[in-house]
Amino acid sequence: MLLDARTIPDGAQLETDLCIIGGGPAGITVAHALAGRSTRILLLESGPDEYDDPTQSLYDGESVGLPYYSLKFSRLRFFGGSANHWGGYCMPHQAADFEARTWIPHSGWPIGEMDLAPYYPRAAELVGIDTTRFDLDWWITQDQDRPLPFDAARAVTRVVQIVRQNRRGFRFRDDLQDASNVTLCLRANALEIVTDDQGRTTREVRVGTLEGARFSVAARAFVLATGGIENARLLLASNGQNPAGVGNDHDLVGRFFGEHPRFGAATFVPTDRAIPLGFHFPHRASLSTIEGYIGLPRELQRREELVDVQILMQRELGPSFDDAVDAPVVRDALALPRNLTQGRLDEFGSHLANVVGDLSTFQQFTVPGAPLPIPYPELVGEVLNRNTADRLELIPAIFGDLAGAAYAQLYGAPITTAIFRTRIDQAPNPESRVALGTERDAFGMLRGQLDWQLTDLDRYSVRRTLEIIGAEIGRLGLGRLQITFDADGQAWPEDMSGGYHHAGTTRMSADPRRGVVDGNCRVHGLDNLYIAGSSVFPTVGSGNPTYVLVALALRLADHLGTVLS
């Protein structure tokens, strides 16, 4: 059933078995997994079905630490949540991600890889990937491209799958709407979680609409699934009974904010520009799209006492191809169908003329008057005299920008250099945190304040990882790695950003003094409040959060199914 919160009378008291707060991937997964059962579910989603700026503005907040994205837009606040701008990258955490590593303070999960393993097949269906295989050996059998031939004791390639664009929505709205036991309530903003006087049981959640109505929802259990910043903010702001907020007896809520920091840290200059690097960029393999990240083997990380740093390559094409890909005529060609369907024949004509002109580029290099389009002898000689990469560089110049862009799209283009961008599994840091700010949103709730911080271990790990990979690249004769990251300086690179991967702010631990939730994602000290999403990750991990959090949400749904039945 679909419900618009604006139709609920002011002061109403709703009652259900399970109240899920947040209609993003985590909340939707829990509801979807329990759809069709006897448990009554009310899913509260702050936004409508599409982007709505007044609702989105509720995310606005202040960033006082390392430079970070605008908090207003680092998550999307409408049904489907941040899956609406998801990049579709999927990789599970590795076994080592769950382990307590002595050299990484606060590391270790109370659950292990095998606890999530049964849920990955279903998670794969929900996120839209075709297989749960991530082992490199298997993918090599499916792929024409090959990873760089590292010695497995020195460097490794890890496979990440990328969900096709048209499958990334994660909405499942029809499924939820059709389920007899699920009510999807849009435009319902959770304002406060209210516990009993002892703070042992969650009694209700107070809800408001931007139009001014207020109502409450009582339930046997609650799942908070509003993202890594909002989960903490709502718990902290729910301070009616306890000034520290809900679930915050040990001052852990909001702390340990983690990300996958990424920045250009090195430049790879191949010895031969024709070295095949295609495996390390997004490409088709069998029916899937995959990409190979570069990292260190876990045993080496253990010996070197490093956090996990994965490397993503960002290629810089040969200049001719770079220009071709960005050439105006490419946009003209892409605009042709639109011009035609919109009846803009004047633009269609001028764009078509440009396209025809570009496609006839080769004609100016052919011998005039020859009945067949044979190239000038000097052009043939030049092409034959060049090496493979330089020869390829001539494609846009000889055949035009469209041909160059098409070639780059289909086969990749000669690469002059590749930027090595980091993807750090940042060390858990209690000083990296989400807190309440001083400004208030439209409901009068204190806005979130993010103080993102990294540690010296992160810095050292980046440098050392690059040194090891660079040495391996040199040993193989593949080229040189110019490390641009200044590990000795205090400042982080200006281009540093996150991956919109918010983790750690309601971290999981078996010990209430070390974590906000237990191994079943239940908030310590409260018998019916659960948290879903990457905010429970004690470490961000090497995998991509969405795939892992969906598996974890399925596991939570399993647990709730048992508890509530």
Partner 1 sequence: MERADAGAKRTDQVVVYAGIPARIAAYFVDAVILSLLFFAVLAVLTLVIGPTVRFVSPLDVLRARVVVDPGRVVLDALVTTALSAAYFAFSWNRMGASPGQWLLGLRLRDRRGRIGLGVRDALIRWALLGPPLGLIAVIVGTLAPLLRPSAIAVAAVWQLILLVTTTRNERKQGIHDRAAGSTVVTSSRLADRVGSDGGVAAGAP
Binding residues for partner 1, per CB under 8 A?
318-320, 323, 356-357, 360, 363-365, 367-372, 374, 376-379, 382, 385-386, 390, 393-394, 396-398, 416
**Residue 319 beta carbon to partner 1: minimum distance, rounded to whole angstroms:** 5
**Residue 357 beta carbon to partner 1: minimum distance, rounded to whole angstroms:** 7
- Residue 297: strand, helix, or coil: coil
Alpha helices in 360-455 (DSSP H): 377-385, 388-399, 401-411
Complete DSSP assignment for 161-230: EE--GGG-----HHHHHH-TTEEEEET-EEEEEEE-TTSSSEEEEEEE-TTS-EEEEEEEEEEE-S-TTH
Residue 508 has what DSSP assignment?
Answer: B
8 A C-beta contact, residue 520 and residue 531? no
Residue 497 has what DSSP assignment?
Answer: B
Residue 382: how many other CB atoms lie within 10 Å: 15
Q: Which two tokens stand for residue 160?
A: 């990440």
Amino acid present at 80? G
Whose Cβ is closer to partner 1: residue 99's or residue 382's?
382
Whose Cβ is closer to partner 1: residue 113's or residue 382's?
382
Q: Which two tokens stand for residue 382?
A: 């030049």
**Residue 477 beta carbon to partner 1: minimum distance, rounded to whole angstroms:** 22
Whose Cβ is closer to partner 1: residue 95's or residue 367's?
367
**Residue 331 beta carbon to partner 1: minimum distance, rounded to whole angstroms:** 18
8 A C-beta contact, residue 261 and residue 496? yes
Alpha helices in 35-179 (DSSP H): 53-56, 95-98, 113-116, 120-127, 136-140, 173-178
Q: Which two tokens stand for residue 396?
A: 């846009």
User: Among all chains, which residue has been given the structure tokens 């993003």?
Assistant: 24
**Residue 165 beta carbon to partner 1: minimum distance, rounded to whole angstroms:** 31
8 A C-beta contact, residue 200 and residue 190? no
Whose Cβ is closer to partner 1: residue 372's or residue 491's?
372
**Residue 500 beta carbon to partner 1: minimum distance, rounded to whole angstroms:** 35
**Residue 329 beta carbon to partner 1: minimum distance, rounded to whole angstroms:** 14
The candidate with the shortest Cα–Cα distance to 289, out of 168, 392, 419, is 168
**Residue 484 beta carbon to partner 1: minimum distance, rounded to whole angstroms:** 21
Whose Cβ is closer to partner 1: residue 330's or residue 427's?
330
Whose Cβ is closer to partner 1: residue 281's or residue 365's?
365
Rounded to whole angstroms, the Cα distance separating 300 from 406 reads 41
Whose Cβ is closer to partner 1: residue 275's or residue 379's?
379
Whose Cβ is closer to partner 1: residue 341's or residue 385's?
385
Q: How many helices (H) and strands (E) does the chain have?
A: 17, 19
**Residue 412 beta carbon to partner 1: minimum distance, rounded to whole angstroms:** 17
Q: Which two tokens stand for residue 315?
A: 């290629």
Whose Cβ is closer to partner 1: residue 342's or residue 363's?
363
Distances (CA, A) of 420 to 50, 280, 409, 461: 36, 11, 21, 14
**Residue 356 beta carbon to partner 1: minimum distance, rounded to whole angstroms:** 6
Whose Cβ is closer to partner 1: residue 289's or residue 354's?
354
